[in-house]
Amino acid sequence: MDWEQEEIRNLKENQYIIIDEEPCEIKSIDTSKPGKHGEAKARIEAKGIFDNKKHSMLNPVTTKIRVPIIDRRKGQVVNKSSGEVNIMDLESYDTFQINVDEDTYQEIEQGQNIRYLEAMGRKKIIKT
């Protein structure tokens, strides 16, 4: 399982949640006061880790939502070609490819140590 459950009331900014099957980083949480016959509601604005799109949700604060398990790891760039980077994990020595944007591709050099994160079976290079 790539996720856990957590009540919305326990979440904070910069934590991660899953919205529309996309792991996202919480940018803001606005909580309303409980109404006469209802619960307090929370509006969450978040940004997708992999798609960089804005995601939002509105739910009662007692709603349990999914929180992705984020694994932060270190790797070394083995090779790079046409927008793809081959990386070797420095703990397991597994190698894999990651598609990167043009800016990241230009910044990375062969043999360089990098940090990456893995969530829900997907990987992304993070800038340090």
- State the pLDDT at residue 89: 97
Average pLDDT over residues 13-29: 96
Non-local (6+) Cβ contacts of 106 within 8 A are none
Does the structure show a pLDDT above 70 at 53?
yes
Q: How far apart are CA 69 and CA 49, in angstroms?
A: 13
Across all residues in the chain, what is the average pLDDT? 93
pTM of the model: 0.86
CATH number belonging to domain 3-68? 2.30.30.30
Residue 119 corresponds to which tokens in the numbers above?
């969530």
Does the structure show a pLDDT above 90 at 82?
no
- Domain parsing of the chain, residue ranges: 3-68, 71-126
- State the pLDDT at residue 128: 56
Q: Helix, strand or coil for residue 20?
A: coil
Q: Helix, strand or coil for residue 110?
A: coil
* CATH architecture group of domain 71-126: Beta Barrel (2.40)
